Structure 1
Amino acid sequence: MNDQELFYLLALQRVEGVGDIIAKKLLTHFGSAEAVFKAKSSQLASIDGIGTILLKNFKDSSVFAKAERELHFVASNPITVTTFQDVDYPERLKHCFDSPLVLFSSGNIDLKNKKTISIVGTRQITSYGLEFCRKFIEDIAPLNPVIVSGFAYGVDIVAHQLAMENNLQTVGVVAHGLNQIYPKAHKKYVAKMEENGGFMTEFWSSSNPDKENFVRRNRIVAGMTEATIVIESAERGGSLITANMANEYNRDVFAVPGRVTDKYSQGCNTLIKTQKANVLTSAADLIYMLNWDLEKDVKSVQKQLFVALDEDEQKIYDYLLKTGKELLDLIALHCDFPIYKISGILLNMELKGVIRPLPGKLFEAI
């Protein structure tokens, strides 16, 4: 998009009363933001949602000065601007009716042909949530997904850190302009994240991390990803808002179950109980539910010449060598493992390239 059209697009955003939905209607009808401003009042009034007050607001010339300042800020910084009409706009987000008109980003974000999941949860992450998140991201790392979160305290920053530790691209969707970092304590992670991933926002440089911005931010987190995972949440929390938004966008939602007495498992347990989320006990659950082709993806991972199996994996491998192939339930029964545990073990063995899944929940040794 050329600077002139971007200038008018930014100006359109600053017309009071014009939100993302109305702006898209105008652009679809008139073809460009510049054409919107050059249209007659009678033409504007023909668009559903444009009333007398809004027509008056289009005469406010101050929107052009505001657009000029923001355009100058963008040009003076390493920031990429993507509009919902651009091919680089996140494909899944583009199909959300209330998706942002414009996205500002920094770093090296690449979402093309990528598996993209969001990981959210409480700001008061417990050791249980931390260990689950660590194991989950380690197990899913060979599939090279993009990890999206909100760069907040707790689950968010843990997800970003673990993604970086496993050399995965990670994107922080923030609730303010890219001229600042919030929380300031996380400034130390910025450079590393921008090396392989980065930051994304719909907010201008004049926007502060106000409370209402976080709810708007959440719809981007939910809308741009294939699935949203809630690691831990109290009975009420921002991550539950994200999960509900993901459901509204017809995205898959997963929640990690916990003890009924644990404060930060209440939200997850409720999501599962009300059938607003799938149970997530291991990376294998996600891969199965999303129908990711594990065998195909693992081919892109350099195969180890010598695969080290732990005691549990060796037990299962020896059993499969004898039987040739077997059902998951029977593997658990004959090898004396609970179902919740064996799913994770089998996934690790798949990633190591020593077994392969077959239709009907069958597995065989390679």
Structure 2
Amino acid sequence: MTGIASAEPSMDWDQTRCDLVRLNMVPGVGAVTLAALLERFGDPSSILRASAHDLQGIPHVGPKVIDGLRSALRTIDVEEELDLCRRCGVRVVTLFDPDYPVLLRQLADRPILLYVKGTLEPTDRLAVSIVGARHATPYGRRAAEKLAGALARVGLTVVSGLARGIDGTAHHAALEAGGRTLAVMANGLNSIYPPEHDRLADRIVQQGALLSESPMRLEPRANLFHRRNRIVSGLSLGVVVVEATPKSGSIVTAKHALEQNREVFAVPGPIDSLSSQGCHALIKEGAKLVESVDDILDELRVHLTPLASTDPNANPPTTTPGRSLSKNVKITTKTIAAPTQVVSNDEAFLFDLKALQDQDTHPTLNKNETQPDPSSNSHSHNRGASTEPVPPGLILSERERIVWETIGTATLHIDAIIAQSGLDPGSAMATLATLELRRLIGRQPGQMFARLR
């Protein structure tokens, strides 16, 4: 949006952050309304100081919203909100910050800000959401555990909503596999809902993050969960539904995924189970049937394409989703922005599996990394690789080559690959995921990896 882009360079970041938090706390001002206000006025401070006359005629801005905006400077205590953030270890990430999630940035209804407790990593752009029934069956829990654990072991971040049932199982499985997981909450981060997931939330903070667009003290309400679901799908390349009734929130998440041009996956279940009827409806209408993690990885390979732009406000290309799920589950499609990535020049890496013959699209070493010397003893000591060259026609990035040579002809545990390659854990896991998606290496039980060619 041009209004946001033109305002960014001159912004006073501290004041802008405070103003955005204040606007986000005005009743009736959601992501779409705030985007329209920024488009009209250019910066948050101008919105808060606009007259009632100036606020009229803006989409989604009625008399109650105008009254809320006009009184926000005197009725909303931003300092108290930010002090509560500090005491709870929560930071506010705005759309203008470089660590705002890349995939989320491209949504038409993206949240202008996120409350974050934990860490957001560049590798979180490789994420898959797993959602499903709160009253999950043992079968559903086993399926969610199997898929989330497998995705985490190959370096993908698992996203879910911290709800009871499938969500909690997916988070727990990702943590147990040593992976990262993001939990998107409907309520504010001042409290955990459901309360029995407080310990799980603490673990997620250590291996990922809790996120919410809601003010800190906002209590959970039904409409907030539907709003939250678009963030769950928006953070991901695809959404896996494990058990869902036809009108459940998980189906809403699948709808958001389709509108955002994400892949939709569904796990089949018993034909006489109400908990599987929503999944079966999705499959009938074109969702990918999932029996194992390979079904997910195979489908995502063609979507892992980078956008090397460094402009966070660049307009992404628009595409029309190729899959319609519009009948039984009332899901509609529309032409929207495709999932893309915005990264810095020295991190313009990852996952162009459509252009493997173009060496320039592959990752390079970080500026703090040095290219290993093949003749060095420290480089080759205890590696599984022989000195055999990379097979003819196989184009590898620097990180891919390092991991490929580290594995060699052996079968290595992920910890050994990280230690012997010299890469940081995040880069190593992301590279393993890329090589597995390219069918160059295979994952075996016990987090072991071996070459497939």
Shared fold by TM > 0.5?
yes
Q: Which residue of 1 aligns with 2:194?
A: 183
Letter of the 1:27 partner, please give it: L
Decide which moves more: 43-52 or 2-11: 43-52
Distance, in Å, in 2 between the alignment partners of 1:298 and 1:153 is: 38
Q: Does 1:202 align with 2:213?
A: yes
Q: Which residue of 1 aligns with 2:300?
A: 290
Q: Does 1:279 align with 2:284?
A: no
Unpaired segments ≥5 residues, structure 1? 309-345, 356-365
Q: Which residue of 1 aligns with 2:34?
A: 23
Q: Which residue of 2 aligns with 1:170?
A: 181
Q: Does 1:352 align with 2:449?
A: yes
Give the CA deviation at 1:202: 0.9
Does the C-alpha gap of structure 1 residues 285 and 68 become closer, same or farther in structure 2, counting only changes over 3 Å? same
Asked if 2 retains the 8 angstrom alpha-carbon contact of 1:284 and 1:347, the reply is no
Distance, in Å, in 2 between the alignment partners of 1:116 and 1:43 is: 41
Does the C-alpha gap of structure 1 residues 112 and 140 become closer, same or farther in structure 2, counting only changes over 3 Å? closer
Q: Does 1:38 align with 2:49?
A: yes
Q: Which residue of 1 aligns with 2:140?
A: 129
Decide which moves more: 264-273 or 10-19: 10-19
The count of residues paired between Structure 1 and Structure 2 equals 319
Distance, in Å, in 2 between the alignment partners of 1:57 and 1:185 is: 35
Question: Under a length normalisation based on structure 1, what TM-score does the superposition of the two structures give?
Answer: 0.77
Note the 1:57-206 alignment, pairs <5 A.
Answer: 57-61=68-72, 64-112=75-123, 114-206=125-217
Give the CA deviation at 1:128: 2.2
Give the CA deviation at 1:348: 4.4
Asked if 1 retains the 8 angstrom alpha-carbon contact of 2:160 and 2:167, the reply is yes
Letter of the 1:259 partner, please give it: P
Distance, in Å, in 2 between the alignment partners of 1:304 and 1:74 is: 48
Distance, in Å, in 2 between the alignment partners of 1:233 and 1:30 is: 42
Distance, in Å, in 2 between the alignment partners of 1:49 and 1:135 is: 43
Asked if 1 retains the 8 angstrom alpha-carbon contact of 2:102 and 2:125, the reply is no
CA-atom RMSD in angstroms? 3.0
Asked if 1 retains the 8 angstrom alpha-carbon contact of 2:51 and 2:70, the reply is no
Does the C-alpha gap of structure 1 residues 186 and 52 become closer, same or farther in structure 2, counting only changes over 3 Å? closer
Give the CA deviation at 1:92: 1.6
Q: Which residue of 2 aligns with 1:303?
A: 407
Give the CA deviation at 1:166: 0.8
Give the CA deviation at 1:160: 0.6
Q: Which residue of 2 aligns with 1:250?
A: 261
Give the CA deviation at 1:216: 1.3
Aligned with 1:200: secondary structure? strand
Distance, in Å, in 2 between the alignment partners of 1:53 and 1:178 is: 26
Give the CA deviation at 1:241: 1.1
Asked if 2 retains the 8 angstrom alpha-carbon contact of 1:119 and 1:228, the reply is yes
Aligned with 1:172: secondary structure? strand
Q: Which residue of 2 aligns with 1:226?
A: 237
Q: Which residue of 1 aligns with 2:367?
A: none
Distance, in Å, in 1 between the alignment partners of 2:196 and 2:63 is: 46
Q: Which residue of 1 aligns with 2:279?
A: 268
Deviations 1:209-229 (A, max 9, x none): 222221111111011111100
Letter of the 1:156 partner, please give it: D
Aligned with 1:178: secondary structure? coil
Deviations 1:240-283 (A, max 9, x none): 111111112111110011231223211111111122x2111111
Asked if 2 retains the 8 angstrom alpha-carbon contact of 1:230 and 1:239, the reply is yes
Give the CA deviation at 1:40: 4.3
Note the 1:316-355 alignment, pairs <5 A.
Answer: 348=443, 352-355=449-452
Letter of the 2:133 partner, please give it: T
Identical counterparts, % of pairs: 31
Give the CA deviation at 1:142: 4.0
Asked if 2 retains the 8 angstrom alpha-carbon contact of 1:109 and 1:196, the reply is no
Give the CA deviation at 1:27: 1.8
Aligned with 1:353: secondary structure? strand
Distance, in Å, in 1 between the alignment partners of 2:124 and 2:193 is: 30
Unpaired segments ≥5 residues, structure 2? 1-11, 305-350, 354-393, 413-440
Letter of the 1:126 partner, please give it: T
Does the C-alpha gap of structure 1 residues 126 and 306 become closer, same or farther in structure 2, counting only changes over 3 Å? farther
Does the C-alpha gap of structure 1 residues 243 and 10 become closer, same or farther in structure 2, counting only changes over 3 Å? same
Distance, in Å, in 1 between the alignment partners of 2:201 and 2:48 is: 38
Question: Under a length normalisation based on structure 2, what TM-score does the superposition of the two structures give?
Answer: 0.63
Does the C-alpha gap of structure 1 residues 172 and 63 become closer, same or farther in structure 2, counting only changes over 3 Å? farther
Asked if 2 retains the 8 angstrom alpha-carbon contact of 1:163 and 1:169, the reply is yes
Aligned with 1:119: secondary structure? strand
Asked if 2 retains the 8 angstrom alpha-carbon contact of 1:117 and 1:225, the reply is yes
Asked if 1 retains the 8 angstrom alpha-carbon contact of 2:94 and 2:114, the reply is yes
The structure carrying a bigger helix percent of its residues is 1
Aligned with 1:132: secondary structure? helix
Does the C-alpha gap of structure 1 residues 57 and 138 become closer, same or farther in structure 2, counting only changes over 3 Å? closer
Asked if 2 retains the 8 angstrom alpha-carbon contact of 1:105 and 1:200, the reply is yes
Does the C-alpha gap of structure 1 residues 233 and 56 become closer, same or farther in structure 2, counting only changes over 3 Å? closer
Asked if 1 retains the 8 angstrom alpha-carbon contact of 2:27 and 2:68, the reply is yes
Give the CA deviation at 1:190: 2.5
Distance, in Å, in 1 between the alignment partners of 2:249 and 2:60 is: 30
Aligned with 2:270: secondary structure? coil
Note the 1:49-64 alignment, pairs <5 A.
Answer: 49-50=60-61, 54-61=65-72, 64=75
Decide which moves more: 14-23 or 56-65: 56-65
